[in-house]
Amino acid sequence: MFELIFLGTSASAPSIRRNLPATMVLHKEYRFLIDCGEGTQRQLLRSGLGFKRLDKILLTHGHLDHILGLGGLVSTFSRWEAIPKLEIYGGTWALERVSDLIFGVVFRGVKPPLQIDLIPIEPGVLMEDDTFQLSAFTVIHRGPGCLGFTFREKEKRPFLLDKAEALGVPAGPERGRLVRGEMVTLADGTVVHPDQVLGPPVPGAKLVFVGDAARINNLVEVASSADALVIEATYLSKEGEMAREYGHLTAAEAATLAHQAGVRQLYLTHISRRYAEEAVLAEAQAIFPQTVVVRDLDHFRIIKEKAAS
């Protein structure tokens, strides 16, 4: 299960109701802040998330509406918060701008009181553990090294208790070893293979996060069968020319991607002040009904829907 909290949902400039882009993804002990538009620190407080354990920030790209909040955030961390280390992941171009902002402005001429690691990333797996994997993929927008992120629970094979008991596997470490895929020999000499006590693999939840994007054709595969797809919808089709010019998507294009990729739920963000939310929703839902136009502080739980049986 992933929790998805939208902290800012506006495109390029804030509106009365919408702050600049920032989204939190929570999974187990992990907290990932994706992008950090101006004013994100106040949105973190308003959301109730606060700053605790906020030590990993992922950047989709280096445009100012997605990074300017980092200046204020690290300044606050350096004065008030007991956060010893902050890791900021992004493409090289985004990190160059962030480096200028943090080390050339906020901490100009002084040693930062907390460790700030700027970690350049490329498409591929960024981190994983036994049950979870985070990976990055290429997004075409404006500027080099724009990225999207896939959060995925690894598939797992359920432990079949009735089978284990029938085979005489006692409660205890033997069961753990079988779950990890190891063969065990019981006290009476019986050898039990994991396949005897594990069911077929059950897929986990998949959350795909795309920031600003100019094209959808290169995203169909990465978004395939996602339980949730988060993506921008900066323009409506009537201004498709402007969308092309600035490297953004229309609501219809975002919905077309969701449809082509067979996702379960589409979350549209990066909403322009020029449109009413209803118009964005109507254009997308005409193509992909399972669409939400998200608002600041919206909170969703992303789970793997059980297959119909």
Q: Would you tell me which residues interact with Zn ion (CB under 5 A)?
A: 63, 65, 212
Residue 72 CB, nearest distance to Zn ion (Å)?
18
The nearest distance, CB 96 to Zn ion, in angstroms, is 15
Nearer to Zn ion, 107 or 275 (CB): 275
The catalytic residue among 35, 55, 65, 212 is 65
CB of 70 to Zn ion, least distance (A): 15
Query: Of 47, 49, 7, 1, which Cα lies nearest the Cα of 27?
Result: 1
The smaller minimum CB distance to Zn ion, of residues 65 and 153, is found at: 65
Beta strands at 2-8 and 291-293: parallel, antiparallel or unpaired:
unpaired
For the chain, list the strands marked E by DSSP: 2-8, 22-27, 30-34, 56-58, 85-90, 115-120, 124-128, 132-138, 147-153, 184-185, 191-192, 206-209, 228-232, 266-269, 291-293, 299-302
Shorter beta-carbon distance to Zn ion: residue 63 or 206: 63
With beta carbons less than 8 A apart as the criterion, state whether 169 and 177 touch: no
Instruction: Give dist(CA 127, CA 166) in Å, integer.
Output: 38
CA distance 75 to 251: 36
CB of 63 to Zn ion, least distance (A): 3
Q: Does residue 117 contact residue 87 with C-beta atoms inside 8 Å? A: yes
Cα→Cα distances 134→24, 177, 189, Å: 14, 26, 41
Query: Which residue, 65 or 174, has its beta carbon nearer to Zn ion?
Result: 65
Q: What is the DSSP letter of 35?
A: -
The verdict on whether 35 is a catalytic residue reads no
Minimum distance of Zn ion from residue 12's CB (angstroms): 6
| N residues, the chain | 309
169/214 with CB nearer Zn ion: 214
**Shortest CB 11 distance to Zn ion, Å:** 6
Q: DSSP 3-state assignment of 208?
A: strand
Task: For residue 94, give both structure tokens.
Answer: 């985004």
Nearer to Zn ion, 31 or 63 (CB): 63
Task: State the catalytic residues.
Answer: 65
